[in-house]
Structures are given as C-alpha cells and as structure tokens.
Structure 1
Amino acid sequence: MTFTATVFIGTSLDGYIARPDDDIAWLTSRGESAGDLGYFAFLDSVDAVVMGRNTYDKVVGFGEEAWHYGDRHVGVLSTTLPEDADPRVTVYRDMAGLVADLDERGIRHVYPDGGRLIQSFVRAGRVDAFVISVAPVLIGAGHRLFGELAEDVPLRLESATDLGGFAQLRYTVEK
C-alpha cells in the first residue's frame, strides 16, 4: 500500500512561506481575520503528519496549544533531532526510511509540512495535491515554498476560492 500526500500551506503572493529569520507574523496576523482557512477540516482528513526539523522546532515553540495532531502519527525528518527527543514523534533520518515506515504502518493520507520537507516530497514525486492559501502581501525575501526541480511537475487546478482576502488554490498533481 502506498500513501497519498497533500500539502496544505500558506504563502505570500511572491511565494515565500517565511521571512529570512523564519518569522511568519506576516501570515498569522492576516490569517486571524480569515479564520483557519479549512486547516482543521483538512487535518481531520489525514492520518499522518510529517515535518522537517525547523517546522517541528517552530511548532514546539508555540507551546502545547499548537500541537493539533492528536493521536495521529507524527514524523520528523531530521539528521540531528535525537530519536528520543519527543515521545509524540517518530524521527526519520532519510526519505527512504520515512516512506517505508509510513507504508508499513498502513498510512493512507500524509500531510507533509515545512518548506524543505515539501521540496523533498516534490522532488521525490510523493506529492499528490496542493492546497495553497496565498496571503494578500508581498514580503520580498525569505524561504520559498518551491525550490529547484529537475523536471516540470504538471498540475491541474481544481479550485480557486476567495477566503477573506486569501486566495486558496487547490491543485492535483498530474502523474
């Protein structure tokens, strides 16, 4: 069995997910007026969340109230996070081990979160859909959602919705 993966993320109009110093206040401050943009309904649709080390550190830094993952499987792809750092997570050292373990667990729908992790999933051909909420702001610099690719990734637009000033774009990856 193999899982499907859906990216759910917010970006600036110019394609950044965080400022150079990892700040996301430009997103969270605007997001407060737009609501959760469907995040919690989306989270209910997944049975595993996988994030990179930077995203894990950011989520943990927000405190317990930001740990919205409940009892679903949570993985962190990191070469530096100690394997016993957090009893709520499984630490993976490489993409091959992560994919093999998720398949072995019978995971059906994965939410990859974090810029570099998403880029790794895209390059590995492991993303099936994107839900991108575009904030009405240009920030000019920072961490881009997408990095360099060896080849095009063809997408099919499923919907474009105005959510309180945010444009939420839903794409399916054409495989």
Structure 2
Amino acid sequence: MQCSVFIATSVDGFIAKADGEIDWLSLAHLEGEDYGYQVFADSTDVLVMGRNSFEKVMSFPQWPYGDKPVVVVSRGLRELPADAPPSVELSREQPQALAAGLQQRGFQRVYLDGGQLIQSFLAAGLIDDMVLTTLPITLGSGIPLFAAATLPDQVSHEQRWQLLSHQIYSNGVLQRCYKKA
C-alpha cells in the first residue's frame, strides 16, 4: 500500500492561518488549472484526514469527495456529526495500525490530508510520496506542514526524498513531486 500527500503551503511552510483559514489558497487560481489534483485524487482509493481538516471540509457548501471512503483520525472526537456523509468513519488508531488495517481492507493508495496527521505518518516513516504546491505568499504564522516532533509518540528522524519533477506556473506557484528515496 502507498501513502501519499498532496497539499499546498505558503512560502514559509504553513498550510493554514493560525485560525485555520485557508482563504489565501485562492491566490493559486488559474483558469482551468487544478495542478494535477483530480488525477491524483482519482488515483487514490481512500482519504485519511485529521479532525481539523475534516471540520474545515464540513464547513464547505458541498462535500468534495463524493462517495470515496474517508477516515477521520482524532483522539478527541468521540463521534462524527450527524450530517457527516455515510462514506466517513472515525478512527483513533496510530499511523502504523491504521495503515495496516487499511491495507488489510484492500486499499492500495491512501491520500493523507492535514498537518498533524501528515506529521505523524511522516514520523512513522509511512509516507511514500508527496506533491507539495507552494503558493507565492508568506503568512508569518499559522499551521505548519512540517514541524519539530512535538506530537505524542513522534520521533524526529531524517528521511531522504528524491525529487521526481517540478513545475513553475505562470502565477508563481511552484509544485514539487517527491518520492521516498
């Protein structure tokens, strides 16, 4: 099974403002350009996201993932909201156990979303590839994509990545695709 990341950051490495807002992502708008997101999303068969990401997506006017299975990882959330789509389930498992369970269920490629969730899977050595899309903005503070090992059960260790490709778009957006070396 393959665990993959597709995420946007600011130049200074934040995935959201301190209050969780992602309105700055609109800077990336190019008519007819989705930066490869749909091809990526279509290549995954399950989405695993953290609670904060889930709550942000639930605030959108429409659920963007159709009937794709979604696993929300949270230690604090006791149950899903009543309006959660039926394709969503809740997990409190650690990354290794969750990945093993998803593999046993036959999933081939996992889409990981959410800062703390990505950090925990990275610390566990479970991420196989990443698409990092950097927008030409600095936020100064916010929710970092990569942070020192500050979460429970995290161990900081060096990992090597191979740059597979990069692309610079006319609006200054830089996209880099990496795989674990």
**Unpaired segments ≥5 residues, structure 2:** 150-155
Counterpart AA for 2:78: P
Match of 2:40 in 1: 42
**Unpaired segments ≥5 residues, structure 1:** none
Query: Which whole-Å CA distance do the structure 2 matches of 1:19 and 1:84 have between them?
Result: 25
| 1:83–1:90 CA contact under 8 A, matched in 2 | no
2:23 to 22, 25, 40: 25
Counterpart AA for 2:134: V
| 1:77–1:98 CA contact under 8 A, matched in 2 | no
Higher mean Cα deviation, 162-171 or 126-135?
162-171
After TM superposition, give the deviation of residue 163 of structure 1 in Å: 2.4
Match of 1:112 in 2: 112
Match of 1:72 in 2: 68
| 2:161–2:180 CA contact under 8 A, matched in 1 | yes
Does 2:158 align with 1:159?
no
- TM (norm. structure 1) is 0.90
Match of 1:123 in 2: 123
Say which SS state the counterpart of residue 30 (structure 2) adopts: helix
Counterpart AA for 2:2: T
Counterpart AA for 2:45: D
Match of 2:91 in 1: 92
After TM superposition, give the deviation of residue 56 of structure 1 in Å: 0.2
Query: Which whole-Å CA distance do the structure 1 matches of 2:7 and 2:118 have between them?
Result: 10
Say which SS state the counterpart of residue 57 (structure 1) adopts: helix
Query: Which whole-Å CA distance do the structure 2 matches of 1:137 and 1:97 have between them?
Result: 37
CA RMSD of aligned residues (A): 1.5
After TM superposition, give the deviation of residue 82 of structure 1 in Å: 3.4
Counterpart AA for 2:163: L
After TM superposition, give the deviation of residue 16 of structure 1 in Å: 0.7
More helix by share: 1
Query: Which whole-Å CA distance do the structure 1 matches of 2:30 and 2:165 have between them?
Result: 22
**Distance of aligned partners of 1:54 and 1:63 in 2 relative to their CA distance in 1, 3 Å threshold:** same
- TM (norm. structure 2) is 0.87
Match of 1:60 in 2: 58
Sequence identity percentage: 41
After TM superposition, give the deviation of residue 97 of structure 1 in Å: 4.0
Query: Which whole-Å CA distance do the structure 2 matches of 1:151 and 1:99 have between them?
Result: 20
| 1:37–1:163 CA contact under 8 A, matched in 2 | no
| 2:52–2:114 CA contact under 8 A, matched in 1 | yes
**Distance of aligned partners of 1:84 and 1:12 in 2 relative to their CA distance in 1, 3 Å threshold:** closer
Query: Which whole-Å CA distance do the structure 1 matches of 2:157 and 2:93 have between them?
Result: 22
